[in-house]
Amino acid sequence: MSLERERPLPRTYAVLAFPLAMLVVFFLVPFGIMVATSFYHRIEGAFYTPAFELANWRRLFQPVFLERAVFSIWICLLAGAVCITVAFPFTYFLTRMRRRAHVALVIVVLSALSLSEVIVAFTWYILLGRASGVSNILVWLGLMSEPAAYQPSFGAVVLGLCYIAFPYCVLTLYPQLTRLDPEITEAAQTLGASPWRTFWTVVVPIARPIIVVGFLLVFVFTLGSYIIAFFLGRPEHWTLSVFIADQASANANVPFASAMALFLTALSLLVVAIVGLIESRTRRAT
Amino acid sequence: MDVRGGVRLEGLVKRFDDVTAVDGVDLELPPGRLISFLGPSGCGKTTLLRMIAGLERPTEGRVFLDGDDITDRPPHTRDIGMVFQSLALFPHLDVAGNIGYGPRIRGASKDRIASRVDELLRLVSLTGMGRRRIQQLSGGQRQRVATARALALEPRLFLMDEPLSALDANLREQLQVELRLLQQQLGITTIVVTHDQREAMTMSDLVVVMNAGRIEQVGPPLEVYRQPASPFVASFIGRTNLLTGMAAGDGSVAVAGRPFDVADGADAAGDVTISVRPEATQLVVDGVPDRNGLPGSVVFVRDLGELFECYVDCGLEEPVIVAGSPRDWVPVTQGDEVAVRFPAEACVVVSEGGTPPPGSADDADGDG
């Protein structure tokens, strides 16, 4: 094999044409339309008309929406933290299991991907409700005197968000943790580290980059979810996504929904950039 | 220096599902020495080492360190240092971080860790390299870091699992000598697992030859080489010529119908296998000796400058290998009719009433 890189043949570029076209048609063009729409004029009681006005953007900077934006970022960062805290040890021990148990668990996790967000939201709605929820089991066991409702609540929203993001989080961590040489953790143990200390002083630091990636993935993924917060939370637990959906479908105010969606996208990119920066800084420092 | 780190293994067995990796090992290893576990891949030597380290639980049997039963103790409480085959250096730490990991876990102060790291860097000739990243080191340097890291806590027992297998041949020989000198300087009980008989011969006070989960022979390197206890040992440790014959019961043996005298053994009548090292055999061009000689024809001559080898077809299953230094060179060429003399003192009886093992000397010297 020569060290010099050969120039790709025109045919090689041709292979890229199809995915590129898909990307343009189904991502760039709709995104452009959304940017344009955010400046359109809304006609009350009807639809909208092309225009260039900043009314939608100005409306966005009202305290209620800014406060929702901050809340959305906060609850999704929390969901990311909770999810990675559960998913990382889960995936780590999964990869250390015997082959058969290992494969069975991966299938269970993957099958959770087939559940739509609506089904997940409804299921938790029932499970956390008073009528036929988990508290009835606790009552039956004699641990509680009467059934209680755990939703709508902040905790229920975080739980739901973690639930839908969990399989993606596991799938992100899985390839890297599978490759972690078992001799590395064994080496730590021969050097006097208990399994617990080995986990904290060797496994977590080695996997830190992928932990950050998994965390950000859950953050971005849950930021776009609106059904979970809508079903499992009170209005004060609704994320900006709920308002976007509400504006777009219930109020038919697509220009304002577009402006909010773009604002949310920009905010999430900002958070991702900040986390990425902190990560690379600390990595260089050690 | 107090000598500690004596290991005793009693009836160790390790089964993985339906595979028996270690099949009943009893062994007493003296403290302060370098012992090598030598055998082909899959013979159970690494599993045995891992049971001593506590990384594998024995199915049966006990492990003792200086008289204490450590069978049920987890690895981090065993007071051992280990160098792994993959070296298993921590990629997120630099050289000093790797070497200082053990002391840090033990809660040593920053100053104490730093001075210990410097001391160890000097010991393995890596002075001033503490801040290097692992990814920037050569294979030999990584090996030294792994060694220093394992020695950082002054363990009672130093274990090495194929520590040099990732290095090229020249570097490997150099590090064999270095490791041996280091071990002698520290007087630390050391067990090295290897499949390379030259490595075992170079480094060890004691060689434990293993095959199929069992110990074949335990002894100093030269004893194992000169007096192999079984055909397996004879063919695995260096190359050898295995001759099968019939013992008369009076100490003499008939090989291919010719009379042989042997070093000792062969007291009972019956089938015997005799091992004769290639360098102990002699090429004879003026007739077949009356005793301890076989006629044959030269099938191949290999002249390597520092030594020559001659393959002679004596009508046995394998050609007889005759090796010698250029001083003993007898000019022969392919097809010459010659004879090979097997001096009686070099004829070692390796099995009585048995057959030679499958697998010749050639596959045993692999580099796997």
pLDDT in tens, chain A (286 residues): 445 566 777 777 788 888 899 999 999 999 999 999 889 888 877 788 888 888 888 888 888 888 989 999 999 999 999 999 999 999 999 998 888 888 898 899 888 888 888 999 999 999 998 888 888 888 888 888 888 888 889 999 999 999 999 999 999 999 999 999 999 999 999 999 999 999 999 999 999 999 999 999 999 999 989 899 999 998 888 988 998 998 888 888 888 999 999 999 999 999 999 998 998 888 776 5
- Taking residues B351-365, report their average pLDDT: 47
Amino acid at residue number B354: G
Q: Quick one: B21 and B133 in the same domain? A: yes
Residue B96, both tokens: 């000093």
Split at pLDDT 50, 70, 90, the class of B364 is: very low
Q: Is A151 helix (H, G, I), strand (E, B) or coil?
A: coil
| Averaged pLDDT of chain B | 88
Domain count, chain B: 2
Residue B361 has a pLDDT of 38
Element spanning A168, H or E:
helix A154-179
Q: Quick one: B290 and B212 in the same domain? A: no
> Does residue B363 belong to any structural domain of this protein?
no
> Does residue B59 belong to any structural domain of this protein?
yes
> What is the residue range of B344's domain?
242-354
> Does residue B235 belong to any structural domain of this protein?
no
Of B88, B92, B152, the CB nearest to A205: B92
Q: Quick one: B87 and B116 in the same domain? A: yes
Domains and CATH numbers, chain A: 62-285 (1.10.3720.10)
Split at pLDDT 50, 70, 90, the class of B366 is: very low
Q: How many CB pairs under 8 A join A and B?
A: 70
* Sheet strands side by side (includes B189-194): B80-83, B157-161, B189-194, B34-38, B206-211, B214-219
pLDDT in tens, B277-327: 998 999 888 888 888 999 999 999 988 888 888 999 988 888 999 998 877
Q: Quick one: B252 and B330 in the same domain? A: yes
Q: Quick one: B57 and B193 in the same domain? A: yes
Q: Quick one: B264 and B307 in the same domain? A: yes
β-strand B241-247 against B270-276: which pairing, if any?
A: antiparallel
pLDDT higher than 80, residue B359: no
Residue B166 has a pLDDT of 83
Residue A282 has a pLDDT of 81
Residues of chain A in contact with residue B90, where contact means CB-CB under 8 angstroms, are 184, 187-188, 202, 206
User: CA end-to-end span of chain A, whole Å?
Assistant: 37
pTM score of the predicted model: 0.81
Q: Quick one: B251 and B214 in the same domain? A: no
CB B294 within 8 A of CB B253: no
> Does residue B236 belong to any structural domain of this protein?
no
Contact A208 B106 (CB under 8 A): no
Residue B266 has a pLDDT of 64
Q: What is the CATH number of the domain that holds B179?
A: 3.40.50.300
Q: Quick one: B75 and B124 in the same domain? A: yes
Give the residue from B159, B232, B218 showing the smallest Cα distance to B25: B218
Contact B88 A186 (CB under 8 A): yes
Q: Quick one: B304 and B204 in the same domain? A: no
Give the residue from B181, B209, B180, B213 showing the smallest Cα distance to B195: B209
Residues of chain A in contact with residue B106, where contact means CB-CB under 8 angstroms, are 192
Residue B368 has a pLDDT of 33
> Does residue B364 belong to any structural domain of this protein?
no
> Does residue B70 belong to any structural domain of this protein?
yes
Cβ neighbour number for residue B233 with a 10 Å cutoff: 26
Residue B17 has a pLDDT of 86
Residues of chain B in contact with residue A197, where contact means CB-CB under 8 angstroms, are 105
Residue B356 has a pLDDT of 43
Residue B80, both tokens: 């051992």
Contact A190 B90 (CB under 8 A): no
B91 in contact with A, Cβ within 8 Å: yes
Give the residue from B178, B181, B159 showing the smallest Cα distance to B52: B159
Out of B191, B226, B261, a domain closes at: B226
pLDDT higher than 70, residue B205: yes
| Dihedral sign of CA atoms B208, B209, B214, B216 in order | negative
Q: Quick one: B210 and B319 in the same domain? A: no
> Does residue B366 belong to any structural domain of this protein?
no
Q: Quick one: B217 and B248 in the same domain? A: no
Split at pLDDT 50, 70, 90, the class of B265 is: low
Residue B91, both tokens: 């990629």
> Which neighbouring-strand residues pair with B209?
B38, B217
Give the separation between CA A207 and CA B1, rounded to whole angstroms. Answer: 42
B17 vs A24, B11, B54, B59, B74, CA distance in Å? 55, 19, 19, 11, 22
Q: Quick one: B62 and B134 in the same domain? A: yes
Distance between B122 CA and the closest CA of chain A, angstroms = 20
> Does residue B1 belong to any structural domain of this protein?
no
- Taking residues B140-155, report their average pLDDT: 94
Residues of chain B in contact with residue A193, where contact means CB-CB under 8 angstroms, are 76, 101, 105
Q: Which residues of A touch B (CB under 8 A)?
A: 181, 183-184, 186-195, 197, 201-202, 205-206, 208, 286
Give the separation between CA B135 and CA B125, rounded to whole angstroms. Answer: 18
**At B101, phi and psi to the nearest 5?**
-60, -50
Q: What is the CATH number of the domain that holds B326?
A: 2.40.50.100
